Structure 1
Amino acid sequence: MKMKKAFAAILAGTMCAGMLVGCGTSQATQSDSKTDRAVKVSDYDGEITLVIATKDEFLGTLDNAVKAAAEINNVELHSVDCGADQDKQNDAVRAAAENGVDALIVNLADDSRAQDVIDAAGDIPIVFVNRCPKDTSLLNDTHVYVGSDESTSGVMQGELLADALKKDGQTEAHYFMLKGTEGLLHTMARSEDVIETLQKNGITAEETIPAIDCDFSRSVAMEKVNALLANGADFSKVDTIISNNDDMALGAIEALKQAGVDTSKMKIVGIDGTQIGLQAILDGDMTATVFQSTSGQAAASLQAAINLASKEKVNTGISYQLEDHTIWVPFEKVTEDNVGDYY
């Protein structure tokens, strides 16, 4: 199994010096597989709390990856799932701060309410992971972000789709889009950038069935597509399904197949590169996805939290790019040609 780039970019400086070539660059020289193996990032004797928005396929994997990184580092980590409720998240952050944790890792339930989280944390440093505060001016030396550039994911998805369409001699996409949680920055970025990229690549994009918001949920996508079918939506004219994540794409595929709709000739693209998304590419159910490294984000966010708690520079021991209080973990394109490198 080929080892992925995305994870072992996060290593302690001593490990870098002794084991890796070119460790000071923003690109990793070693990597993990889809199993999200933990890598020892630093020795640290303290307590960190992870407060995660919810545990869908992707965020559940992220939660497990942070726990794995903490375990291998002998870091005491507490994890709290807020069930996508920002008020509950604020309460969890406040409770963790009152209990004297050294740092917090927070996956926002609502990216427009990061100030609430900061207020609840008081003087405790925060690493926001995967979902960036909508107001990026809130980021500073003690409130940082670790994640992947969402505009990049939409662009990559558009490029993958354009390549797949052109390969079959198509210059038009009659598409149906499944969007994530309404109002979140990455929902908007993924939805807008993929269409703009198609057009820039010479593909005429026509929305054949109006987009639906499915909260990044496979079950919600399946339920809503079933409702569309029951109300007479004609999917025979759809040749492209664009989904803000793999889960929703798979929910749509399942609903359509159960209704007797042939999806075999549709171009279907997702984002995240989850295990089930990768399997769908192997099975021929999905055309492509954009891999988002849970293990890379997990290791980087844990190391950043350790650094903040230890009064170190936030990017100490991290070889991903640091820019304006943000540590960028790159997205990567996945197709049938290279899916085996990730699965």
Structure 2
Amino acid sequence: MSLDATIWAWKTRQKQKAGGALKPLKKLVLLSLADRAGETHECYPSIARLVDDTEMDRKTVLKIIDELIEDGFIIDTGKREGKTKQVKVYLLIGVKGRETVPTTVHFDTGNDDLNSTNNGTVPTTEQFQQFHERVPTIPLNSPNVGTRNLPKNLSEESKNKKTWLSLKKLGEEIRLATDQETYEQIKNATWFDRELRAFELYNAEKNLCDELMHYHFADWLINACGKYQAREQAKIQNSTTRILVPQGESNQLSDKQIHTFAQKLSQHPEFASRFAAAGESYDQLAARIAVKLSDPVQAKQWESFLKQVGFKGSLQGAA
């Protein structure tokens, strides 16, 4: 947190443009950025964090950031932070050091209050020093110093706010795409962190917004759940008894087959009309089908549909 940046943000005068955002809303976003600026006057809160701070929608926040850049209050440094290196780093333009009395502010030439006696006035050196004398200081060894930049002082959910991941939003996406039982399995899975690393590596070069990251990660986890369930079932079957399978038949579909046929069945007109939920997308239906196909009994029940989309073998179902 930078007091210099916050003081500067309060003293700015925003410009009202035709079709643009309201001046109070622009100042609110600028104050949120300043509140997270460091000593170099750079900040990199995520869009989700700004939305949470200002209680505006994402589209409005993005529009205001563009206007602040156009007005010369901030610039995009080109640097990226965060675990996935997708969070933009902005530099606040015009912030003065605490030892310097600010002498200039940005004015709106179209403002009707330009003739006010209080508009653009600069505090005297004595007033400025008295102001800072009233600001409480924090010892450098205090655990509260730099709390906005120290993950160890934050809860798990707050840590995630520094990147794209929100466990609450992810849970909502998973429950929209599948049943409560599958959600509980994913939530308590030991392989969650492993799949998270794989997903972030896979999407590292893609410029996806937070909403799309949660959407695709939910499908990724549902498919992963089906994969791990299939492995566990195979281990149980192999540990109890070996089942002889006639030539041309197989106990269950492979992971690759499950993924392939789930995608095909989700777009099969007759199948989709019978099993798709209202408002469900193709990807959500495919993810739900993949979980079901990992069960040999369910796969056997759908064998006729599987053959229609290219399956050549014969499934035995459960032993």
* TM-score class normalised by the smaller sequence: under 0.3
Q: Kindly indicate which of the two structures has a greater share of residues assigned to strand.
A: 1
Query: TM-score w.r.t. structure 2 length?
Result: 0.26
Q: Of the two structures, which has the highest relative contact order with CA contacts closer than 8 Å and spacing of 6 or more?
A: 1
Q: TM-score normalised to the size of structure 1?
A: 0.24
Q: Which has the larger radius of gyration?
A: 2
